[in-house]
């Protein structure tokens, strides 16, 4: 039976995950940032995960003056592109 990670975050550079780590005290392994699909694939392989469903984390990821709708659409399109490049591994 395949192992599927249904809670797998995608962290584009624009979210500044490292900055959030410092602010909130989160402990993301240093070699996991900056995030790339290859970083996730390596971690998935090490953990025996066959497929991961990508999603954005619930973070305050917009700055004043930004257009949240367009940014969200772009991030969703980025996730879809990653899924299309690795259809067996990401959903």
Q: CA 31 to CA 22: how far, in whole Å?
A: 15
**Full domain range(s) for residue 49:** 4-85
Asked if residue 90 belongs to a domain, the reply is no
Q: CA 1 to CA 9: how far, in whole Å?
A: 23
pLDDT for residue 63: 64
State mean pLDDT over 10-39. 76
Q: Which residues pair with residue 9 across a beta bridge?
A: 55
| Token pair belonging to 56 | 């954005």
pLDDT for residue 87: 97
pLDDT for residue 15: 75
Asked if residue 31 belongs to a domain, the reply is yes
pTM summary value: 0.80
Asked if residue 91 belongs to a domain, the reply is no
């Amino acid at each position: 039976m395949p192992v599927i990670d249904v809670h797998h975050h995608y962290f584009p550079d624009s979210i500044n995950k490292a900055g959030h780590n410092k602010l909130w005290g989160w402990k993301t392994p240093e070699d996991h940032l900056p995030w790339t699909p290859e970083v996730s694939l390596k971690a998935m392989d090490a953990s025996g995960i066959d497929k991961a469903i990508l999603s954005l984390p619930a973070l305050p990821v917009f700055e004043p003056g930004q257009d949240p709708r367009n940014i969200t659409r772009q991030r969703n399109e980025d996730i879809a592109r990653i899924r299309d490049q690795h259809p067996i591994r990401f959903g």
